[in-house]
Amino acid sequence: MEHDGQLQLYAAVAVQLKEAHAKVRALQVPEGVRMALTRKLLVITAAAKHDLADAARRLEAFTADLDEGRFPEEER
C-alpha cells in the first residue's frame, strides 16, 4: 500500500514539475531571472530522487512564489 502512495506522489510531482517548467518558459522576464528559476526547478528535480516528500514541499513553495510574482534576482 505504501508503495502505491509513493508512486502516486511521484506522478503528482512529475506533473507539477512539468507545469512549473511550462510556466517559467512562458514568463516575460529577463533571461537571467528565467535561468535562476530554471536552476531552482533543477534543484527540486534532483531532490526528488532522494526525498520525494521534501521535493513536493519545495515545489509547492516554488509554485506559490511564482504565482505571487516573487522571482529571484537576475543572475549575471
pLDDT, block means (10 residues), the chain with 76 residues = 78 95 95 95 94 95 94 74
Residue among 75, 43, 51, 55 nearest 14 (CA): 55
- What's the distance, CA 28 to chain centroid? 18
pLDDT at 2: 64
Grid coordinates of 58 = 519545495
Grid coordinates of 44 = 527540486
**What residue has cell string 529571484?**
72
